[in-house]
Amino acid sequence: MSIVLNKEMQAVEFVKVTKSFGPMLAVNAVSLSIRRGEFLTVLGPSGCGKSTLLNMIAGFQTQDSGEIRIEGKDVSSMPPYKRDTGMVFQNYALFPHMNVRDNVAFGLQMRKHPKHDIDTEVAKALAMVKLEGMEARKARQLSGGQQQRVALARAIAFGPKVLLLDEPLSALDKSLRSQMQVELKELHERTGLTTIFVTHDQGEALSLSDRIVVMSKGEIQQVSKPLDLYRHPANGFVASFIGEINAFPVADCIVANDHVRFAFGENITLRAPRRDGQPLKTGDKVNLFVRPEHIAVAGQPDNGDPRVTGRIVTHIYQGTHTITRVTVPALGLVELRVEGGDIIERRPVGSDVDLAIMLDNAVIIRS
Amino acid sequence: MSKFNWRSFLFWTLIAALLLYMTLPAIVVIMASFNPGEVLSFPPNGLSVRWYIKAVTYPDFQIAFKNGIIVAALASTLALVFGSAVALLVSRYYFTGRGLLETILSAPLIVPHFTTGFGFLLLGAHLGITQTYLIIVMAHVVLVLPFVTRAVYVSLQNIDPNLERAAANLGASPIKSLWRVTLPLMLPGMAGGWLVATILSFTEFSASLYVTASRTQTLPVAMYNYIREYTDPTIAAISALLIVITTLIMIVANRFLGLRKILAIESH
């Protein structure tokens, strides 16, 4: 049987999906389309509803209202075993009474494939995760990383419509995690499987995804490509959740022809060039978010960036760079990032320092 | 040279005393069983196996042993079927009356055995089945069911719920998931529950006293009838044999099934 699939067809769609557990609203009117072949990450803190989204695609949980479609078909009343989704669980959930081969073959057996087909497909899936020749091992004889690979092979072996990954890397140690990140990406490129990846780790999200969905309190905050998400967060939550960022107190805008001034109280005013497409007007109250790499110790020749003076509170040396915390009157605690350890030697804790704040890349959000 | 450790000495003395106290009745019976004399006495004044020979050749004990095996096998197997079904229902499904079912199942721990036996005696008389194995098996199923259910329930609770989700995710219908995933993982619990039930049924006395007849009496009842008439150490010998056989079964079970897991002393 072959179906001609519309290339524009969405792999998974949420239409105004809401789900609550008792009084707790886990997912609130979420609408989202996941394209075929896309690697989409759902990112958010624990309890934001990201796992509930995944469980509703797999059918382990049923939405209270709204519609979920897989390849255009409403699956709302379809039991999990008919949905053709391949899930990798956080704890892998390998069948402990079966060997690797039987674990990976399970989905194929359930679909009544002939035995020689199953053997071929199992071998193919195991090769895909670099576990050739491990068929006879029991699940508990494998290391964490190997179990992870078997779980992946099991989830892709039967050719699911969508691959669901529920924080699959969180149980691995750091070096193994970055290795598996690379392999996940390669696997996605080789198989072209639509992949939905749930994580609370923004680093993983930024490095793996075609698009990222940021969730908080059951609602989608932003859907963007990784680069856009980092550069143009839609709101304060996204700005502070993706990477490190300084959140300045609320400022008053004063708009002139070629620039905007942001006033923090009586004494501090920061000046930035006017940007296209930023409809700010005098009297607006805004929140400014500035990344630590966009704040520097001011050099002698003034290059025009607005300057403030603060006192160094602490240096956090990180090898490649140093994070320095400075208290600035009216701005509060400000973090800046300086390459190497230079600033530690030159500016002791407690000394005053002039800072240049580069507002060109600042995130400005109306409050 | 290491210093004498008082704390460790006290600890092990206490443990040894406790173990001695727990096994004392068995030790006394086993010692008395080797007594060469005609009268039960302790401590023994010699060493002889004559009462063991008497015990295994005594016709009443032979019949009662066979009866006990038949009853224990039937009762524990029936209890295993019901108990596993109930454990599955209670641990995997929410339904009205779930709490009530749990209470009814633990009722035999509250109702005295002789009350259960007496009840089945009256029932058996009404139905005209007092002389049959059926009435004994019925009584024993009630008595051992909570233990089987408990053992299976614990092993079910120890199964990672994600395993059943994984099975469903891979395309297994609820029946297939039960057959391919849940049931294989329940097996150690079922085997352990069945074994405990068999031993409990085989050694059950107070309910059996009501529901057995002279042709259908089980071993503990036959032993009781023997000791009412005779005072020789045969009874000690048959008791010692029971203790040894039960111990051996438990050792083998522990070796192959992991009794600690079944009794929920440790999880996973």
- Summarised one tens digit per residue, pLDDT across range A337-366 is 888 777 777 788 888 888 888 888 888 888
User: Residue A130 in contact with residue A162, Cβ under 8 Å?
Assistant: no
Q: What is the structure's pLDDT at B21?
A: 93
Per CB-CB distance under 8 Å, the chain B contacts of A106 are: 167, 170, 172, 180
Q: Please answer yes or no on whether A158 and B181 come within 8 Å at the CB atom.
A: no
Q: Is residue A184 part of a domain?
A: yes
Q: Which residues contact A190 (CB under 8 A, 6 or more apart)?
A: A128
Question: Which residues of chain B form beta strands (DSSP E)?
Answer: none
B167 — contact with chain A (CB < 8 Å)? yes
- Summarised one tens digit per residue, pLDDT across range B237-264 is 999 999 998 888 888 877 776 655 555 4
Residue A266 dihedral angles phi and psi, to the nearest 5°:
-80, -35
Choose between B258 and B117: higher pLDDT.
Answer: B117
Give the Cα separation of A30 and A19 in Å (integer).
9
Chain B nearest CA to A235, separation (Å): 36
| Domain ranges (residues) in chain B | 58-233+253-262
Q: How many domains, chain A?
A: 3
Q: Please answer yes or no on whether B166 and A110 come within 8 Å at the CB atom.
A: no
Residue B265: pLDDT above 50?
Answer: no
State whether A167 and A267 are in the same domain: no
> Which domain does A146 fall in, by range?
95-160
Tell me the three-class secondary structure of chain B, residue by residue. Answer: CCCCCHHHHHHHHHHHHHHHHHHHHHHHHHHHHCCCCCCCCCCCCCCCCHHHHHHHHCHHHHHHHHHHHHHHHHHHHHHHHHHHHHHHHHHHCCCCCHHHHHHHHHHHHCCCHHHHHHHHHHHHHHHCCCCCHHHHHHHHHHHHHHHHHHHHHHHHHCCCHHHHHHHHHCCCCHHHHHHHHHHHHHHHHHHHHHHHHHHHHHHCCHHHHHHCCCCCCCHHHHHHHHHHHCCCCHHHHHHHHHHHHHHHHHHHHHHHHCHHHHCCCCCC
Specify the DSSP element, H or E, that contains A324.
Answer: strand A321-328
State whether A29 and A155 are in the same domain: no
State whether A173 and A74 are in the same domain: yes
Chain B nearest CA to A74, separation (Å): 17
Q: Please answer yes or no on whether B172 and A85 come within 8 Å at the CB atom.
A: no
Q: Is residue A90 part of a domain?
A: no
Supply the DSSP symbol for A84: -
CATH code, domain with A50: 3.40.50.300
Q: Please answer yes or no on whether B165 and A58 come within 8 Å at the CB atom.
A: yes
Number of residues assigned to chain A:
367
**Closest residue of chain A to B161, computed from CA coordinates:** A93
B186 — contact with chain A (CB < 8 Å)? no
What residue type is assigned to position B217 of the chain? Answer: Q
State whether A30 and A57 are in the same domain: yes
State whether A216 and A288 are in the same domain: no
Among A124, A141, A160, the domain-final residue is: A160
- ipTM, two decimals, is 0.82
Q: What is the structure's pLDDT at A199?
A: 92
Q: Which two tokens stand for residue A312?
A: 């160094």
Is the domain defined by B58-233+253-262 classed in CATH 1.10.3720.10?
yes
Q: What is the structure's pLDDT at A304?
A: 63
Q: What is the structure's pLDDT at B10?
A: 92
B27 — contact with chain A (CB < 8 Å)? no
Give the Cα separation of A228 and A221 in Å (integer).
14
Q: Which two tokens stand for residue A191?
A: 């198989």
State whether A80 and A218 are in the same domain: yes
Q: Please answer yes or no on whether B168 and A80 come within 8 Å at the CB atom.
A: yes
Q: Please answer yes or no on whether A110 and B171 come within 8 Å at the CB atom.
A: yes
Question: How many helices, marked H, and strands, marked E, lie in chain A?
Answer: 9, 21
Q: What is the structure's pLDDT at B109?
A: 74
> Could you tell me the pLDDT band of residue A250, with boundaries at 50, 70 and 90?
confident
- Summarised one tens digit per residue, pLDDT across range B8-37 is 899 999 999 999 999 999 999 898 888 888
> Could you tell me the pLDDT band of residue A307, with boundaries at 50, 70 and 90?
confident
User: Residue B20 in contact with residue B227, Cβ under 8 Å?
Assistant: no
B267 — contact with chain A (CB < 8 Å)? no
A226 — contact with chain B (CB < 8 Å)? no
Q: What is the structure's pLDDT at B19?
A: 92
